Amino acid sequence: MTEGSARLSATSSERAELAELIRTPYIRVLTYPKISLRTAKARIRQLERLGVEELVFEGHTRIGRLGILGLGTVGVVVTAITKKGESALKIRRTDANREDMDNEVKMTRLVNRVGIGPEIQSATDDFILMTLIRYEELEEWVRGQKGRGTKLVVASLLHSALNQCRKLDILAVDHGQLNNLRKHLVVADGRPWIIDFESAGTNRRPRNVTSAAQHLFVGGSVSPYLRRLMGIRSLDVVLDGLTAYKREPTDYMYSKLLEHLKLVPNETLRLATGSHRGPRTPSDFSPPKV
């Protein structure tokens, strides 16, 4: 799990005010993975500047007895309380391979401009404060869709997700980690979210559409199920579509790829959109505009 997000959880939580964060067990999270009183005090001053009043320790992942929302190679994510309510707080690990969060903040703010990712509220060298999203993992959401209209609902959400990837390609922003959608493409309130831009960059060719589509329909654990659900009979057709888009990443090739993935609705699905969640107009099934 990553920044700006929380896997839906009913686990118990524990709260701590800023003054308590220099004590065990809270300091273990604040300065993870190595306890440092000096670092903790400096970080509390940063939290004060961000307007954070309390931290809430909740979630399935744990550091000692404390639940957290996520733990990655760069940061630890917890819930923060400010005067405006709950936010997600990403804490830079003290052993992270970077001295600050500047690149992640820059990349996330860039994609926020086109409606992608949790919105950054404020940041310092060691923290990013952003919108908190309570989510389901994509595969969990997909397999939880049952009954009449399942194909339409899933197709609509997957197409919306790939449209976000297409926007990133157009922006020339490569997310860098969409080959593992389990941690980086999630579902909240019936819509897809791309999260965690810590490895994103503009200095390489973007591969967002191809990475995401490859995971969804070719090599991911949910791929066989999605191919059956969408009625994709030939894997070669999908691979040909991915190769063509990779060679020529234009709107036309993107539209052709959507056809290969069976994500362009036929007349029956088009007539049914009014009674289901997800995209509700034909424009939702067209190449996105940035």
Tens-digit pLDDT profile for residues 192-222: 999 999 999 999 999 999 999 999 999 999 9
Residues 230 and 277 in one domain: yes
- Extract the tokens encoding 188: 């909240």
pTM of the model: 0.87
Does residue 175 surpass a pLDDT of 80?
Answer: yes
pLDDT of residue 57: 98
- Residue 290 within any structural domain of the chain: no
CATH of residue 59: 3.30.200
Handedness of CA 36, 37, 42, 44 (dihedral sign): positive
- Residue 72 within any structural domain of the chain: yes
Q: What is the mean pLDDT of the chain?
A: 90
Does residue 282 surpass a pLDDT of 80?
Answer: no
Reported as a pLDDT band with limits 50, 70 and 90, residue 8 is very low
Q: Give the pLDDT confidence of 104-152 residue by residue, as tens digits.
A: 999 999 999 999 999 999 999 999 999 999 999 999 999 999 999 999 9
Residues 47 and 113 in one domain: yes
Where does a domain end: 131, 165, 199?
A: 131
Residues 110 and 169 in one domain: no
Residues 173 and 224 in one domain: yes
Q: Give the pLDDT confidence of 35-79 residue by residue, as tens digits.
A: 999 999 999 999 999 999 999 999 999 999 999 999 999 999 999
Residues 201 and 237 in one domain: yes
- Residue 119 within any structural domain of the chain: yes
Residues 156 and 64 in one domain: no
Does residue 267 surpass a pLDDT of 60?
Answer: no
Residues 12 and 108 in one domain: yes
pLDDT of residue 183: 86
- Residue 205 within any structural domain of the chain: yes
Reported as a pLDDT band with limits 50, 70 and 90, residue 160 is very high
Mean pLDDT to the nearest integer, 86-104: 97
Does residue 270 surpass a pLDDT of 70?
Answer: no
Residues 200 and 106 in one domain: no
Reported as a pLDDT band with limits 50, 70 and 90, residue 12 is confident
Residues 97 and 230 in one domain: no
Which structural domain, as residue segments, surrounds residue 22? 5-131
- Residue 280 within any structural domain of the chain: yes
Instruction: Give the chain as a 3 state SS string.
Output: CCCCEEECCCCCCEEEEHHHHHCCCHHHHHCCCCCCHHHHHHHHHHHHHHCCCEEEECCCEEECCEEECEECCCEEEEEEEECCEEEEEEEECCCCCCCCCHHHHHHHHHHHCCCCCCCEEEECCCEEEECCEEEEEHHHHHHHCCCCCHHHHHHHHHHHHHHHHHHHHHHCCECCCCCCHHHHEEEECCEEEECCCCCCECCCCCCHHHHHHHHHHHHCCCHHHHHHHHCCCCHHHHHHHHHHHHHCCCHHHHHHHHHHCCCCCCHHHHHHHHHCCCCCCHHHHCCCCC
- Extract the tokens encoding 290: 């940035």
Where does a domain end: 107, 131, 155?
A: 131
Where does a domain end: 83, 100, 131?
A: 131
Residues 164 and 122 in one domain: no
* Pairing relationship of beta strands 5-7 and 133-137 according to DSSP bridges: parallel
- Residue 223 within any structural domain of the chain: yes
